[in-house]
Structure 1
């Protein structure tokens, strides 16, 4: 197994380098070639081919795990790379060390405040608000790598663009400054998951279940409500306590810790108050965006109908939705919204979204 130095010459790699392209969970054994501006990821045995080319200025590097492995990603690209920290060029290692030194001092002060408020005073929402956005984004990136890596990422430029345009309108209404990252994965579960750092994972089961784009927009608006209030981080603090604070702020963010936190994030259930506010705010975001706002209630009604079917039993995907969402008709009644406003997507955009996971 080899990596490549700045001038393209091969150098020894203590452990294997594995590249995940973001489309499936298959790991590609790879070598690395660094230049002044780019990182080239090459398949083993064929150095004339390229699995990916990443601009160095857009690279992010995690802290090493106990075995010295780091996770690398490129902003705007779906792939992830795992390699030994000792394969990094000196400039990359130095940049990572400077970042760690800065975050270490920042984390000491912020963690003290966050732990005191979140765990002693008992207000995890206030503790979460003290966490820097950059630290939250780093945790979200690691969690996304682990969650999405298990599934095929559904592609389609037109569908992805339509979803991102819709989410941008909702985020603007919610006064969210940072871009929201959207990923669609090939999972049968009828759900969408919000991760720290403004990330939403939409599952194929949700696209298959909703009857139209306005129902999907209702769910996306609900998830935007969770992002605006940083609910994933608040819930993680409430569940994991000091370990979540430490991991978020730069302590013990190895793959084992991130994997554990990822599992907790996927299985988190928000409080009824969090869900109520996300519902109400979601409807408000739709209305502020000039969109019809009755899709969320229609989605709840369709889920209730699916769960209450007498014949054929209830699908496991529907049951999994209700395992982490309050099942109550009150949510439908309280969030009926209005049919006034534009449809969330045009027919062609909706068709492109539906086709992302291979279903026209």
Structure 2
């Protein structure tokens, strides 16, 4: 009489994959493979050729196996006899499943890149435009205050403090008089604060919350107060349309998306990035055109020639060239030639335009930082940094 050999059996912990819950199951070695008796009484056979070992750092004393093609269901075997039997009979226990084809990976990568592009270049700008209108003025001002201080620290070349704010009382009064004569108050969502920084960069920009920042270098470069007024009118246009807030929200949103993908871009890094972006005034071309149009109308209403904006651009373009210098600032802006032509076209024929400041006020503005304008003392001594590269 032939004696039937008893097949090894025991118990193991089973995870089906739907939930991270261990289920105690009966396990028996059969000729075709490993038979699992599930709690519902139904046997499940994992064939020898399909068994794959899964290294598991949390289970040093268990053999963790799964079936080929199934990455979630697994069996934790601690019974030494069962482990020995399976390791000796399963021919492909250490085999890896066929890897995902490169073509499929390329498709997935392309889809992911497209999704990120849609988020950054479409969804984030749309949401930023909506939030810029809904954001309370207090929130905008807090963002502008923080960014302003970061800018002052970033531009200080000594590393010991912050770039100084020009404190000349008469000069700041002249700047305020210029602002009052432009009279943009009815258009503004909040009050405007104007600061002049003691730095030779030829630049001006608006920050969230109504801050407008001028650099001494721009005032030094101006031939007359009307050119400064034209730049001021342009920056007021950005404040009216809340472009700085929209740009800051768009940049922060894009950084947030990229931070999820590549690492932490939160906190001070975002603030520094926004400071750099706002120094470079990287608003959209449409925003710049709208701000120019607003400046033309504001200047004309105040009795100041809109051509002053064009002459400021034109002289800087002649002095510093089109490939670098100020063009670095305007890389995301409309073409300089078109902006100059638009300013000249905004001049109303036959209208008698006047000066926005008298000679005393203009002299006070030129010395607001405590020294005479280099253009007044020595026109050939200028060695200035214009709008920074990188835009």
The reply to whether TM is greater than 0.5 is: yes
**Secondary structure in structure 2 of the residue aligned to 1:183:** strand
User: Any idea what the Cα deviations from partners look like across 1:91-133, whole Å, max 9, x if unmatched?
Assistant: xxxxxxxxxxxxxxxxxxxxxxxx9xx8378353222101111
Q: Do the aligned residues in 2 keep the contact of 1:236 with 1:268 (CA within 8 Å)?
A: no
- TM-aligned CA distance change 1:231 to 1:328, over 3 Å: same
User: Any idea what the Cα deviations from partners look like across 1:311-358, whole Å, max 9, x if unmatched?
Assistant: xxx8x7545444564442111111223363331111111100101121
Matches within 5 A, 1:120-131: 122-131=126-135
The alignment of Structure 1 onto Structure 2 pairs a total of residues equal to 233
**Secondary structure in structure 2 of the residue aligned to 1:335:** helix
Alignment TM-score, normalising by the size of structure 2: 0.54
- TM-aligned CA distance change 1:174 to 1:301, over 3 Å: farther
Q: Do the aligned residues in 2 keep the contact of 1:272 with 1:326 (CA within 8 Å)?
A: yes
Q: Which moved more, 1:145-154 or 1:199-208?
A: 145-154
Q: Which residue of 1 aligns with 2:291?
A: 278
User: Any idea what the Cα deviations from partners look like across 1:251-273, whole Å, max 9, x if unmatched?
Assistant: x9955543343233323411111
Q: Which residue of 1 aligns with 2:341?
A: 333
Matches within 5 A, 1:1-360: 119=123, 122-149=126-153, 150=156, 151-172=163-184, 175-176=187-188, 178-241=190-253, 255=268, 257-308=270-321, 318=326, 320-323=328-331, 325-336=333-344, 337-338=346-347, 340-357=352-369, 358-360=371-373
Alignment partners' CA distance in 1, 2:300 and 2:355: 11
- TM-aligned CA distance change 1:157 to 1:253, over 3 Å: farther
Alignment partners' CA distance in 2, 1:253 and 1:275: 28
Unaligned stretches of 5+ in structure 2? 1-118, 157-162, 258-264, 374-391
User: Any idea what the Cα deviations from partners look like across 1:278-311, whole Å, max 9, x if unmatched?
Assistant: 11100111122233332111112112211349xx
**Secondary structure in structure 1 of the residue aligned to 2:282:** coil
Q: Which has the larger radius of gyration?
A: 2
Q: Which moved more, 1:123-132 or 1:229-238?
A: 123-132
Q: Do the aligned residues in 1 keep the contact of 2:284 with 2:332 (CA within 8 Å)?
A: no
Alignment partners' CA distance in 2, 1:255 and 1:127: 22
Q: Do the aligned residues in 2 keep the contact of 1:144 with 1:195 (CA within 8 Å)?
A: yes
Alignment partners' CA distance in 2, 1:145 and 1:302: 31
Unaligned stretches of 5+ in structure 1? 1-114, 246-251
Alignment TM-score, normalising by the size of structure 1: 0.58
**Secondary structure in structure 2 of the residue aligned to 1:348:** helix
- TM-aligned CA distance change 1:318 to 1:264, over 3 Å: closer
Q: Which residue of 2 aligns with 1:104?
A: none
Alignment partners' CA distance in 2, 1:138 and 1:128: 14
Q: Which residue of 2 aligns with 1:33?
A: none
**Secondary structure in structure 2 of the residue aligned to 1:179:** coil
Q: Do the aligned residues in 1 keep the contact of 2:125 with 2:250 (CA within 8 Å)?
A: no
Alignment partners' CA distance in 1, 2:272 and 2:311: 35
Q: Do the aligned residues in 1 keep the contact of 2:124 with 2:254 (CA within 8 Å)?
A: no
Alignment partners' CA distance in 2, 1:133 and 1:356: 29
